[in-house]
Amino acid sequence: MGTEDVDTSEGGSEEAAQLAETNRSAQVGAKAGRVVRIIRLVRLIRLFKLYKQAQQQLEKAERLREELEQEEVDEQLESLLHERKMKELEKLGGTDADGEFEIPEETKVGKKLSDLTTRRVIMIVLVMMFTVPLFSQDSYVDTTKKS
């Protein structure tokens, strides 16, 4: 009986050691599993951030593309309006084919009127130059003091 007790007690300590070792390896495995889950979570978060950045860049590119298209449409409308105005001016005789304004020739009556107006303006300016000093007070009153 005593030998069986010893065998059992030795077997029990071996079992306890084996259980402790198994427990330690389970704890290490669980800890490794938690670390792996955390690493996966961090990688997933990084992937999500990259996805959001890619989405933002795509949206920005789309907005820029729409703005460029709108600017092109605006430029096309502007050029069409300019062409229409130029055609209307050509019909009215205001411009030539190059889009430069033509200066119409002056008629004989227009030449005579402009010549007459220029002469009158020159005469009025000369008369004013000679008559303005006559209207100053200094020309009629002696401002020097006599002692």
For residue range 23-74, what is the model confidence (pLDDT) as tens digits?
Answer: 988 898 888 899 999 999 999 999 899 999 999 998 988 888 888 888 888 8
Q: Which residue has the higher pLDDT, 42 or 138?
A: 42
DSSP output for 96-144: -TTSPBP-PPPPHHHHHHHHHHHHHHHHHHHHHHHHGGGGSGGGTS--S
Of 22, 48, 50, 45, the residue nearest 37 (C-alpha): 45
Identify the band that residue 136 occupies on the pLDDT scale cut at 50, 70 and 90: confident
